[in-house]
């Protein structure tokens, strides 16, 4: 697998690079991520940089994490919840009825009814 999209090399017309003389390459670290489809992705970042906790898998686009045994999304305990499920989590049915009655009453007042 190619090591990424890092642009290497010299500008046109520059002298051949002699690393010891021209510049010291910055220290690097390789960080490897796995997505839940077992795609492995390695990125190379500066050694003193903090690796991002997630990286988008370049093959399938899912978030990938640094823990091969526990990629993001695989061991998700909670199943997908609908918006309504979240609302029901926050509000009881009684609260919902009260809110609805309140809203209807306000609507009727505005319309000059009741
Ligand atoms: Zn993937």
pLDDT in tens, 57-111: 999 999 999 999 999 985 555 567 788 888 888 888 888 899 999 999 999 999 9
**pLDDT at residue 112, as a whole number:** 85
pLDDT digits (tens, 9 = 90+) for 15-49: 665 655 566 778 999 999 999 999 999 999 999 99
Q: What is the 3-state secondary structure (H, E, C) of 27-45?
A: CEEEEEEECCCCCEEEEEE
Q: How far is the CA of 34 from the centre of ligand 1 (A)?
A: 7
pTM of the model: 0.45
Q: How far is the CA of 9 from the centre of ligand 1 (A)?
A: 30
Q: How far is the CA of 86 from the centre of ligand 1 (A)?
A: 29
The response to whether 77 counts as a known ligand-binding position is: no
Q: Phi and psi at residue 13, in whole multiples of 5°?
A: 90, -5
Q: How far is the CA of 104 from the centre of ligand 1 (A)?
A: 49
Three-state DSSP at 59 gives coil
């Amino acid at each position: 697998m190619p090591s990424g999209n890092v642009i290497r090399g010299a500008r046109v017309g520059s002298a051949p690079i002699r690393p010891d003389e021209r510049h010291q390459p910055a220290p690097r670290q390789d960080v490897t991520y796995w997505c839940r489809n077992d795609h492995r992705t390695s990125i190379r970042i500066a050694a003193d940089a903090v690796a991002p906790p997630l990286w988008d898998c370049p093959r399938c686009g899912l978030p990938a994490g640094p823990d091969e045994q526990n990629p993001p999304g695989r061991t998700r305990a909670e199943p997908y919840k609908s918006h309504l499920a979240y609302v029901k989590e926050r509000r009881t049915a009684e609260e919902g009825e009260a809110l609805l009655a309140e809203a209807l009453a306000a609507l009727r007042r505005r319309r000059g009814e009741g």
